[in-house]
Structure 1
Amino acid sequence: MKRVYELVGAPGHCEEASFTWDAWMHVNGIAHAQDVTEDLWRRFQGDSGKTRFSDLEGGDMDARYDNLLCGRYPMIFRDRHASMQCTAMCWGLACGNGWFPLIDTLCAEIQRHVDAAQAPAVVAVQVKEKFGALRFYTTGGG
C-alpha cells in the first residue's frame, strides 16, 4: 500500500511525533538532525496560505525543477547528463516535484559544508523516491 501525506497548516509540535522521531534516530544511529521545518514552511507557503506537500508520489521531476537544481548546484549534479555506465543520474531525478524543496535544502547544506570544510566535492549518483522516502546517493565529500 502506497501512502501519500498532505500536511496542511502551520508547523507545530506533537509529543508522539517527537518520541517516534527520537526512537527512529536512536535505532538508526543518528546523533544529530537539523530541523528544516521553518525553511520548508517559508518555501511552500503559497497564495492560499496553506502549506501543501502533496506532490510526493512517483514519476520524474519536471525539467524546470531538474534544471534549477543543476543550475544552483553544478558540482553536486555535475554528472546529471553523464552516461549510464558512469551514473544513475542519467535518468534524472526519479521523484515527484514535491521533493524539490527538500532536495534544494539538502544540496544547499551539502554545498555549505563542502565549502566551509574545503572538503572534496560531493556528487549525486542517484536521486529517487522509493517506498515513500527520498533516497539521495552520493560519492565524495569528507
Structure 2
Amino acid sequence: MKKRILFVCIENANRSQMAEAFARIHGGEAVEALSAGSAPSGRINPRAVEAMAELGYDLRAHASKSLDEVEGEFDAVVTMGCGDRCPWLPTRRREDWNLPDPRHLDDAGYRAVRDEISARVRSLLASL
C-alpha cells in the first residue's frame, strides 16, 4: 500500500513543491506525494523550477494548490516552518521542518535549502 505524504507551506510555491518532487523521486511508486498551501500563490516560483531542473526534474508539471483541495488521510504531514499559519491536519505523523524560505536567498543558499529538503525527504521515507 502506498504511503501518502503531504507537504504544506503558506504559498505552495517553493519548499513544499520541492519536497513533493523529492518524495516522488526518492519514493517512486511506493509513495503518493502531494503539496498544498494555506494561502497558495497560484504559481510555482521560477527559481524552484530552475533549481529542480538542475537535477533533471520538471517542476512545471506541478500546480500551486490550496489545502482545501486536499482530501483523505495521510501517513505523514510535513509543514515547512510556517508557524501558526500552517493549520493542523489529521495524520498518523506530523513533522515541522523549520526551513528558511529560499525565495530571497542567493543561488547557493537556494540550492542549500533544496538539498536539505532532499535529505530530509530521504530520511522521512526511510522511517515510514
Q: Flag whether TM exceeds 0.5 (same fold).
A: no
Q: TM-score range by the shorter chain?
A: under 0.3
Q: Going by fraction, where is helix more abundant, 1 or 2?
A: 2
TM-score (norm 1): 0.25
